[in-house]
């Protein structure tokens, strides 16, 4: 494997007595899209700013292409950056905004005249080259901001919640465009900060889930979704149901184990994050549960039974809240089937491969 | 309802009468008297002879030249110094920056002659550094550069205040993005900060220019000998020589100069990109 394009080693950032980042390690390979995902205050933007050079680590080192840039100023790092509010220069026309970085790097007039139209065309903004930023919509401004960042041909592009100021349809459109852009520039690494898991799943080769200034979990979107390494990752990423469970004695080995959940025995999958025996959490996604035909519960056909608390129709799906003993779980049933009514008994079945066991911590 | 509204509309001109009369009595009438006085000839009649004699005289032309030179030099220095100090206060973090910003607000409330007086204690003939710039037995303070120093000392905060307000509204993400694109701190200042603050800088500078053109208190308190400005010339003609027609001619020219600067400033602001 080649050396990482970005390497963060043991980075901590303190603001007075507040520790915003705790001893974080992160590597991003060439061409990789790493998404820093987390709630507000989780440290994702601080980590991005430490890479960009706007925040100096209290401890640790930052390397770009193997070069130690920990103390290098932002203008000496050669990174492209796009921020949430676009930060276009209001006194410059679109073409001048895109040319800004090239002029800062003392590129020749000829190179600037060739490069600016190329990147404006790449983001579909050629027709707006002579407009001022105030004459553009939010989506158009974001496209210009991306073209401006790409025009300096950076090896690394940093995106700090770039779509959060856009409405939902435009956001979906821009996500597709970002994917398309990366396909055109496959060698460029992208670090993308967001609190939106849809954006994270759509774009990320790897998701780095941040919490309280630490990396809580990281992996591919599918691995984090299917086999979350811990409770926080399971809850944050996909809103999984977490049911207290006890591993049945004698099932200490093997991939599939029997567990007792609310006095009902079902089968689930053991992963690297599962405890060997005793108490655990059964993690199952709302959309992996389906209404079972007929009554009955437990046993070989992997059923859990309970009573419907509420039903909310959401269009493509309907969210059913089901009470199983003292536990309440979320179930997403297709929107086009007859909805159960509150108070009805309901049996749910699931594939044991889609239910994983986590440590109860 | 509509009858009450139309009755209110009928009374509307009445409410204009008082402010118009007050404005006429307090401002327009005295200005009219002054303008009329400017066209009184030496034999007590009316005509252009006295007017032309004053504005064609060496005293007036010298005062006009001194006034414009002092005002332009002081304004240019105020704008430069004000920009540098405002940038330092806003962008370079140091303990007490906020207190310093407040002090500038308080400084604007000081009378201008206080500065002149304090400079006299420093650089005046009997001051601590009285020998500085002395070539003919008199401190530099009583000449062109003395007036400029006093005006720059007093009027620089008038440039800094709008600049600091403009910096407060500046999107700092723009500075960071400019930096990430490879621009040096000086380049960011020149290509991002300065254009964003330009309307405020020009507004502060124009205010400075208007005030320095009409500055009187500083020059009077300093007892300047080597330069004469238009306000000093008006003072001399009216108070010392009792030449009211001559003082009125100079005052009219001073007003014309101020108004042309003001309208030039408005026009320049209109042409700036929003």
Higher pLDDT, B126 or A7: A7
Q: Which of A77, A78, A83 sits opposite B177 (nearest CB)?
A: A83
Query: B133: pLDDT confidence band, cut at 50, 70 and 90?
Result: low
Query: B132: pLDDT confidence band, cut at 50, 70 and 90?
Result: low
Q: What's the burial of A323, exposed, middle or buried (CB within 10 Å: 0-12/13-18/19+)?
A: middle
Q: Which of A85, A104, A134 sits opposite B181 (nearest CB)?
A: A104
pLDDT of residue A299: 45
Residues A325 and A260 in one domain: yes
Residues of B within 8 A of A82 (CB-CB) are 177
Q: Where are the alpha helices (H) located in chain B, listed in sequence order?
A: 2-23, 29-38, 49-55, 58-91, 97-107, 112-123, 144-169, 172-180, 185-188, 194-213, 217-222, 230-235, 244-271
Q: Which of A75, A80, A87 sits opposite B183 (nearest CB)?
A: A75
pLDDT of residue B127: 64
Q: What's the burial of A263, exposed, middle or buried (CB within 10 Å: 0-12/13-18/19+)?
A: exposed
Under DSSP, the state recorded for A248 is: P
Shortest Cα distance from A60 to chain B (angstroms)?
21
pTM: 0.79
* CA–CA dist B50, B244 (Å, integer): 11
pLDDT reading at B138 higher than 70:
no
The domain spanning residue A235 has which CATH number? 2.40.50.140
Grouping H, G, I as helix, E, B as strand and the rest as coil, residue A136 is coil
Asked if residue A1 is part of any domain, the answer here is: no
The DSSP-derived string for A38-68 is: --TTSSHHHHHHHHHTSS--SEEEEEETTEE
Domain ranges for chain B, please list them: 58-271
Chain B residues within 8 A (CB-CB) of chain A? 171, 173-174, 176-185, 187, 191-192, 195-196, 273-274
Percentage of chain B modeled with pLDDT above 90: 37
Q: ∠ CA(B106), CA(B112), CA(B115), 5° rounding?
A: 85
* CA–CA dist A196, A48 (Å, integer): 16
Residues A193 and A80 in one domain: yes
pLDDT reading at B266 higher than 90:
no
Cβ–Cβ gap B179/A74 under 8 Å? yes
Residues A258 and A158 in one domain: no
Query: B223: pLDDT confidence band, cut at 50, 70 and 90?
Result: confident
The low-confidence residues of chain A, meaning pLDDT below 70, are 1-2, 250-253, 293-301
Least confident of A310-319, B109-118, B119-128, B156-165: B119-128
Residues of B within 8 A of A149 (CB-CB) are 177, 180-181
Domain limits for position A252? 231-358
| CA-wise closest residue to A132 among A90, A104, A102 | A90
The size of the A-B interface in CB pairs under 8 A is 75
Residues of A within 8 A of B177 (CB-CB) are 81-83, 87, 145, 148-149
Residues A251 and A179 in one domain: no
Distances in whole angstroms, Cα of residue B243 to Cα of each of A166, A313, B218, B249: 71, 93, 23, 10
pLDDT reading at B274 higher than 80:
no
Query: Which residue shows structure tokens 């992208």?
Result: A190
Cβ atoms within 10 Å of A51's Cβ, excluding its own: 26
CATH fold of the domain at B58-271: MetI-like fold (1.10.3720)
pLDDT reading at B134 higher than 70:
no
Length of chain B in terms of residues written: 274
Closest residue on chain A to B179 (Cα): A75
A262: left (phi over 0), alpha (psi -120 to 50) or beta: left
| CA-wise closest residue to A45 among A162, A201, A149 | A162
pLDDT of residue B272: 66
Contacts of B202 (CB under 8 A, 6+ apart): B265, B268, B269, B272
B199: left (phi over 0), alpha (psi -120 to 50) or beta: alpha
Task: Note the pLDDT tens digit of each residue in A107-144.
Answer: 999 999 999 999 999 888 999 999 999 999 988 999 99
Residues A76 and A203 in one domain: yes
CB B268 within 8 A of CB B202: yes
pLDDT of residue B5: 66
Residues A58 and A198 in one domain: yes
Shortest Cα distance from B169 to chain A (angstroms)?
13
How many domains, chain A?
Answer: 2
Residues A129 and A256 in one domain: no
pLDDT reading at B135 higher than 60:
no
Grouping H, G, I as helix, E, B as strand and the rest as coil, residue A21 is strand
Least confident of A193-202, B63-72, B185-194, B258-267: B258-267
Grouping H, G, I as helix, E, B as strand and the rest as coil, residue A268 is strand
The domain spanning residue A19 has which CATH number? 3.40.50.300
Residues A134 and A257 in one domain: no
Residues A86 and A216 in one domain: yes
| CA-wise closest residue to A321 among A312, A313, A261 | A312
ipTM for the predicted complex comes to 0.81
Chain A residues within 8 A (CB-CB) of chain B? 52-54, 73-75, 77-85, 87-91, 100-101, 104-105, 132, 134, 145, 148-149, 152, 158
CA A115 to chain centre: 32
pLDDT of residue A297: 47
Query: Which residue shows structure tokens 């199983």?
Result: A324
Query: B2: pLDDT confidence band, cut at 50, 70 and 90?
Result: low
Higher pLDDT, A257 or B182: B182
β-pairing verdict for A214-219 and A156-160: unpaired
């Amino acid at each position: 494997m080649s050396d990482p394009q970005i390497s963060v080693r043991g980075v901590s950032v303190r603001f007075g007595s507040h520790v915003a980042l705790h001893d974080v390690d992160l590597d991003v390979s060439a061409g990789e899209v790493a998404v820093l995902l987390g709630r507000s205050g989780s440290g994702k933007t601080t980590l991005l700013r430490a890479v960009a050079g706007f925040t100096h680590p209290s401890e640790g080192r930052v390397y770009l292409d193997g070069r130690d840039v920990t103390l290098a100023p932002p203008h000496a790092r050669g990174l492209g950056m796009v921020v949430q509010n676009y930060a276009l220069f209001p006194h410059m026309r679109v073409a001048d905004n895109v040319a800004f970085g090239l002029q800062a790097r003392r590129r020749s007039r000829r190179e600037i005249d060739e490069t600016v139209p190329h990147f404006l065309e790449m983001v579909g903004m050629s027709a707006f080259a002579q407009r001022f930023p105030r004459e553009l919509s939010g989506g158009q401004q974001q496209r210009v901001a991306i073209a401006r960042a790409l025009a300096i041909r950076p090896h690394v592009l940093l995106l700090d919640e770039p779509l959060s100021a856009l409405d939902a349809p435009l956001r979906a459109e821009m996500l597709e465009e970002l994917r398309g852009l990366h396909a055109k520039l496959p060698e460029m690494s992208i670090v993308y900060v967001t609190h939106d898991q849809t954006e994270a799943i759509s774009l990320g080769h790897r998701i780095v889930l941040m919490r309280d200034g630490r990396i809580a979990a990281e992996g591919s979107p599918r691995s984090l979704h299917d086999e979350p390494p811990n409770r926080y990752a399971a809850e944050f990423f996909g809103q999984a149901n977490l049911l207290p469970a006890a591993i049945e004695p004698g099932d200490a080995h093997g991939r599939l184990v029997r567990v007792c959940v609310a006095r009902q025995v079902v089968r689930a999958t053991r992963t690297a994050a599962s405890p060997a025996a005793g108490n655990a959490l059964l993690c199952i996604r709302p959309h992996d549960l389906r209404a079972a035909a007929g009554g009955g519960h437990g046993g070989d056909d992997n059923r859990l039974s309970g009573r419907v608390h509420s039903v909310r129709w959401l269009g493509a799906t309907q969210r059913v809240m089901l009470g199983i003993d003292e536990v309440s779980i979320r179930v997403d049933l297709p929107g086009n089937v007859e909805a159960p009514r509150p108070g009805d008994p309901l049996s749910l079945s699931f594939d044991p491969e889609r239910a994983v066991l986590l440590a109860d911590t | 309802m509509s009858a009450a509204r139309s009755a209110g509309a009928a009374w509307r001109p009445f409410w204009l009468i008082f402010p118009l009369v007050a404005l006429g009595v307090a401002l327009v009438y005295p200005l009219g008297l002054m303008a009329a006085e400017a066209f009184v000839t030496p034999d007590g009649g009316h005509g252009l002879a006295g007017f032309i004699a004053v504005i064609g005289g060496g005293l007036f032309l010298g005062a006009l030249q001194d006034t414009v030179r002092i005002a332009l030099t002081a304004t240019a220095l105020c704008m430069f110094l004000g920009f540098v100090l405002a940038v330092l206060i806003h962008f370079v973090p140091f303990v007490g920056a906020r207190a310093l910003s407040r002090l500038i607000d308080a400084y604007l409330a000081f009378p201008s002659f206080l500065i002149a007086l304090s400079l006299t204690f420093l650089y005046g003939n009997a001051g601590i550094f009285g020998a500085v710039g002395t070539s003919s037995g008199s401190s530099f303070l009583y000449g062109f550069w003395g007036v400029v120093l006093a005006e720059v000392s007093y009027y620089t905060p008038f440039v800094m205040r709008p600049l600091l307000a403009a910096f407060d509204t500046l999107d700092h993400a723009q500075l960071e993005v400019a930096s990430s694109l490879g621009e040096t701190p000086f380049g960011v200042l020149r290509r991002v900060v300065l254009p964003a603050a330009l309307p405020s800088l020009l507004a502060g500078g124009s205010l400075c220019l208007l005030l320095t053109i009409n500055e009187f208190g500083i020059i009077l308190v300093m007892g300047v000998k080597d330069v004469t400005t238009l306000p000093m010339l008006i003072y001399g003609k009216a108070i010392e020589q009792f030449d009211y027609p001559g003082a009125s001619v100079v005052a009219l020219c001073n007003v014309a100069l101020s108004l042309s600067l003001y309208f030039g400033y408005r026009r320049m602001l209109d042409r700036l990109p929003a």
